[in-house]
Structure 1
Amino acid sequence: MCGIHAVISPSSSCSSLQELSPDLHQNLLNRGPDYLGQVTRFSSNNAWTLQFTSTVLALRGDHVTKQPLHDANGGDDGSVLCWNGEAWRFNGGVINEHENDGEVIFRELSKARTEEEVMGVWRGCEGPFAFVYFWGGVVLGSIADGGGDWEEVEADGIYSLGLGGEGEIRRHEWIVGGEEFVSSIGVFNKALPSPCGEIPLTSASPSVQALKEQLVESLRLRVLNIPKPPSSGTGKIRVAVLFSGGLDCTALARLCHDIMEPDQEIDLLNVGFENPRVVAQLKKDAKGKEVDFYEACPDRITGRKSFAELRSVCPGRVFRFVAVNVPYSETQAHRQQVISLIHPHNTEMDLSIACALYFAARGQGWVTTEQTSSPASESSPVSYTSPARALLSGLGADELFGGYSRHPAAFQRDGYAGLVDELLLDVRRLGKRNLGRDDRVMAHWGKEVRFPFLDERLVKWAIATPAWEKCDFENGEEKSGVEAGKRVLRLLATELGMEGVAKEKKRAIQFGSRTAKMESGRVKGTTLLS
């Protein structure tokens, strides 16, 4: 993801424009290492001075697009766009692989003459993005007023700040007349099964094939036509998967094999931590024997097993298992940096999850030549840093398909009515919870995390699909061979030859990688950071 920064100041206080602080300058460059640009504008009444800064991580098109994008002939009040994100589709169509999405959007914005036309351009974008756009004395985007502490602006619309009069901030809805829409995407299907019950969800159910089609299309947009990373040498490694070995991420890796060119290699980033409390217990239990506490992490064990299954099912594809081992001393050395990046999130759980994502995204770990699933049978590991700048995450599958423990609990309490309410709650808060936090810690390394399960068309399909066609809690595991939570995805994994992966249980990243409760077993996830 790119870095964007905008400062709006009264012209009377701007005898000279202030330079970015060294820390802010570096943080922006971390997000966008390929280019840094600045543009200055003045409001039409000269009451305000605006300074825009953009850094670029070039992952779209066949060239590095310099930002901020601006109207070179527009004078001191010409339009400016700082763009951060991905428009996977625009006005219903896929953007040409040789074009940059930011340039396409700015070109369309330049044609707009009214506020409604400008809003129409933004409403035509499908994908995750943030922006600041200066046009006709109005600034649109995610806006903080500069007073007091920083706040995260919810992804619930477009905000505009008028630079005339009192500088009113207004919110514009993404969808006009979409009161029934969930997250401005579609209408949630609240239907309940008939009293006589529905047909059990099996591999032959239409929703399984429909999910495959949705995921394949989502992945095509996210893994094909990625520019060669500057440090990749042959350019064979452009995609990496945040890989715990669980159902969601392994299903993505498996489908990538079907989509990507045969010579493209895929890195699997598997993170494990030295947790002093756990290490002490492991050494005690080992009674003097040597213990590899990284390989004992639950996600490392699952990761090795799923890696072996991937290699078996996908012969000819190079999957590279990258063992990201993080010593306790290194966790402590980066602690304040991670806390700064996740702000204003400030709980122990936020930090535990963010640390796992932060070090996984860095991509520094160990690989072996043979790349077998068992470390005991491998050659000596060698240090390795993944050059991939596009990372895939399985986030969203649990919310869409009923993968959390609270989903069967809701079903046991209130049947499908309770389950539907719980799923609806999860989807409504998807864009308001932790995506910003997670993006900031991973983008720090000049990487872009992509969420195939959160493709807008996939989400629209998922929320329009009845609950029993996604997670069939009414029928036990004996009827389909896999558990009810996320059953539609488990059945897809089975169809793809991943029978072991299809049976993997849900495990939170902070426990699988052992970032949780490093200092004290009594600390709660809700405890505020000190």
Structure 2
Amino acid sequence: MCGIHGVISTVPIPNISSELRNALSNRGPDHSGQTSRELHLPNGDSIIHLNFTSTVLALRGDHVAKQPLESSATGSVLCWNGEAWRIDGQPIGSENDGELILAKLDATDSSSSESRESHILNIIRSIDGPFAFLFYDAQFKRLYFGRDRLGRRSLLINQAEDGNSISFSSIADISAAGWKEVEADGVYALNLESRIATSHDFKLDTRIARYEWLSSPRGDNMVPSIGSFNMALPPQEHKLDFGSVSVEMLRYWLCESLKLRVLNIPEPPSPLSDADVRLAILFSGGLDCTVLARLAHDLVPSSQGIDLINVAFENPRQVAVDKTVRRTQPYLPVTDVYEACPDRITGRKAFAELRSICPDRHWRFIAVNVPYEEALSHKSRVVSLMYPHNTEMDLSIAFALYFAARGIGNSYTHSCEWEPDPPSITSPARVLLSGLGADELFGGYSRHEAAFKNGGYARLVEELMLDISRIGQRNLGRDDRIMAHWGKEVRFPYLDEELVRFAISSPIWEKCDFQHQFHPAVIDPAKRILRLLADELGLKAIAREKKRAIQFGSRTAKMESRTSRVRGTTTIT
């Protein structure tokens, strides 16, 4: 995880603000660097100034790769924020991925701009993993930039109205308006030798070229960023059950994804406790995250602990409702406001099940309790981090991710029950796992069941293909900005490219089964493939857990009284 920033301007570039520098350093606390270039245009009078800034969170290789990365041979510059898990389908070893990518990008001294561009695009397209990047090709004076095909890392762009500058950043400089999210629909390029003459001066030619992730996407069944979607309809007799090959295939690809993401994590430079904990899981106790925890147990060395971070909020609206219920039903027990949160209830159940089936693992259940006043005190920071996203729903989700990533809470290791005075700790883990993506891949949302009811498997196939196609347009850039603020990197095992390709190539009846609503083992039809895997892994209760959105499970939705009647899409005021 890193913070990257770049400015291209026809006038000398001032230093970035201290606020922005601090925000970038929060993302990358291990190193901060800057480099600049001057591009003299052929007319001899005009100069384009380029300035690149990078901060580094070092999680790959045996040393801190100082950024921006620069080529000693050509003067090219790479600002790299992300993880290249594979290049050309081959897993990356222990070497630093950013240094490897710069070497590959700069390997060809092409005689033409077309062949050079083709080489650069082929390298970027061959990368599997979450990333955002800026690459200045000094040979042909072009800037390439973009986000990975699933949009898992943040990159914002801001084009000045006067046409004299264009800026890029992992996080917005809130002193300047006009920041927009770079779309994750391809690789972008800007020709810096092209300019627009005016009567007194010249302006940057900010016409940006876009190149598709797939060089030749064809067919109605193509997911433009990643491959072909299996649109076949099921035969008359079909069954998704414990013996289905797809369940074992899911286990294989999920384990392959996790190996890349949970092994060889370096020990935090300043451990906050004696426990060796390098990995934490955003843990609601739901199906998706608990399966990740269970499989991570099989892979992570037994000497390392795993933190399960569970967040709950004091929501005044819900507190008032609970008080009303107790007045009318006084026989109900008084419940701690945080322990009453749905995600805390399921989280403790899942923690108990994990401890039961994996007793030799040092699990820590970290109960993050967020008082209402504390949430409000952080609101302005959360709003600035999630910008340019600005709705009430954005805020409710961002609150949950922000405090979960901070990782400060009450620690439970042996007891799954509430204790009056548990120790408070800060998780030292700098890698977080998220279960996001499973619903889109395997039909976990209520709208998927609605699609089946309205149009059978044909309509369900269309809905799932739409979900996969627009993952890159979703909110992962927002989530990256929120959680990286704490010097943490969030990883999404379900969104591994190979696992996604397996999922979209699998027929619909091998993923969910809304035609047979009631499985003999009482396993719901939504995401049935994952539920069957959970049951196979010993997670009997979790396999039967219902889906719940994070803002409702943690009770961040509509915390303020003024929001009680507004829609989630309402702009924050």
TM-score by length of structure 1 reads 0.95
> How far apart, in 2, do the equivalents of 1:283 and 1:144 lie?
48
The residue correspondences of 1:492-503 to structure 2 (distance < 5 A) are: 492-503=533-544
Which amino acid letter does the alignment assign opposite residue 525 of structure 1? G
1:286-311 residue CA offsets vs partner (Å, 9 max, x unmatched): 45975410011000000000100000
Query: Which moved further from structure 2: 470-479 or 250-259?
Result: 470-479
Check the 8 A contact 1:183/1:431 in 2, yes or no: no
Other-structure match for 1:139: 143
Check the 8 A contact 2:234/2:509 in 1, yes or no: yes
Aligned with residue 128 of structure 2, among 116, 126, 129: 126
1:161 aligns with 2:190: yes
The residue correspondences of 1:25-174 to structure 2 (distance < 5 A) are: 25-45=21-41, 47-74=47-74, 78-97=75-94, 99-112=95-108, 113=110, 114-135=116-137, 136-142=140-146, 143-147=157-161, 149-166=178-195, 167=205, 168-174=207-213
The residue correspondences of 1:221-300 to structure 2 (distance < 5 A) are: 221-232=260-271, 236-287=276-327, 291-300=335-344
Report the alpha carbon displacement of residue 234 of structure 1 after superposing the two structures with TM: 5.2
Other-structure match for 1:366: 410
Change (3 A) 1:526 1:483: same
Tell me, what secondary structure is at the counterpart of 1:279?
helix
Other-structure match for 1:350: 394
1:361-420 residue CA offsets vs partner (Å, 9 max, x unmatched): 11011114x531111xx4731111000000000000000000000111111111000110
Tell me, what secondary structure is at the counterpart of 1:358?
helix
> How far apart, in 1, do the equivalents of 2:224 and 2:414 lie?
42
Check the 8 A contact 1:88/1:95 in 2, yes or no: yes
> How far apart, in 2, do the equivalents of 1:220 and 1:379 lie?
38
> How far apart, in 1, do the equivalents of 2:433 and 2:334 lie?
35
Root-mean-square deviation (Å): 1.5
1:341 aligns with 2:382: no
1:525 aligns with 2:568: yes
Check the 8 A contact 2:278/2:428 in 1, yes or no: yes
Which amino acid letter does the alignment assign opposite residue 145 of structure 1? Q
Check the 8 A contact 1:510/1:516 in 2, yes or no: yes
Report the alpha carbon displacement of residue 72 of structure 1 after superposing the two structures with TM: 3.1
1:326-383 residue CA offsets vs partner (Å, 9 max, x unmatched): 0111110111111111111111111101110111011011114x531111xx473111
Query: Which moved further from structure 2: 131-140 or 112-121?
Result: 112-121
Aligned with residue 487 of structure 2, among 446, 449, 454: 446
Report the alpha carbon displacement of residue 480 of structure 1 after superposing the two structures with TM: 4.5
Tell me, what secondary structure is at the counterpart of 2:340?
coil
> How far apart, in 2, do the equivalents of 1:344 and 1:480 lie?
45
> How far apart, in 2, do the equivalents of 1:325 and 1:490 lie?
29
Other-structure match for 2:247: 208
Tell me, what secondary structure is at the counterpart of 2:393?
helix
> How far apart, in 2, do the equivalents of 1:183 and 1:391 lie?
28
Check the 8 A contact 2:158/2:178 in 1, yes or no: no
> How far apart, in 2, do the equivalents of 1:144 and 1:80 lie?
20
Which amino acid letter does the alignment assign opposite residue 159 of structure 1? Y
Report the alpha carbon displacement of residue 146 of structure 1 after superposing the two structures with TM: 3.5
Report the alpha carbon displacement of residue 91 of structure 1 after superposing the two structures with TM: 1.9
What are structure 2's unaligned runs of at least 5 residues? 111-115, 147-156, 162-176, 196-204
1:267-294 residue CA offsets vs partner (Å, 9 max, x unmatched): 0000000101111222343459754100
Which amino acid letter does the alignment assign opposite residue 262 of structure 2? V
1:179 aligns with 2:218: yes
Report the alpha carbon displacement of residue 231 of structure 1 after superposing the two structures with TM: 2.0
1:63-116 residue CA offsets vs partner (Å, 9 max, x unmatched): 111000002354xxx20000001100012211112x100010001111133111
Tell me, what secondary structure is at the counterpart of 2:234?
coil
The residue correspondences of 1:438-517 to structure 2 (distance < 5 A) are: 438-517=479-558
Change (3 A) 1:68 1:466: same
Report the alpha carbon displacement of residue 9 of structure 1 after superposing the two structures with TM: 0.9
Tell me, what secondary structure is at the counterpart of 1:5?
strand
> How far apart, in 2, do the equivalents of 1:522 and 1:164 lie?
53
Tell me, what secondary structure is at the counterpart of 2:321?
helix
The residue correspondences of 1:300-315 to structure 2 (distance < 5 A) are: 300-315=344-359
Report the alpha carbon displacement of residue 144 of structure 1 after superposing the two structures with TM: 3.9
> How far apart, in 1, do the equivalents of 2:225 and 2:469 lie?
10
How many residues get paired?
Answer: 517
Tell me, what secondary structure is at the counterpart of 1:244?
coil
Check the 8 A contact 2:287/2:531 in 1, yes or no: yes
Change (3 A) 1:472 1:291: closer
The residue correspondences of 1:316-465 to structure 2 (distance < 5 A) are: 316-368=360-412, 370-375=413-418, 378=419, 380-465=421-506
Check the 8 A contact 1:32/1:446 in 2, yes or no: yes
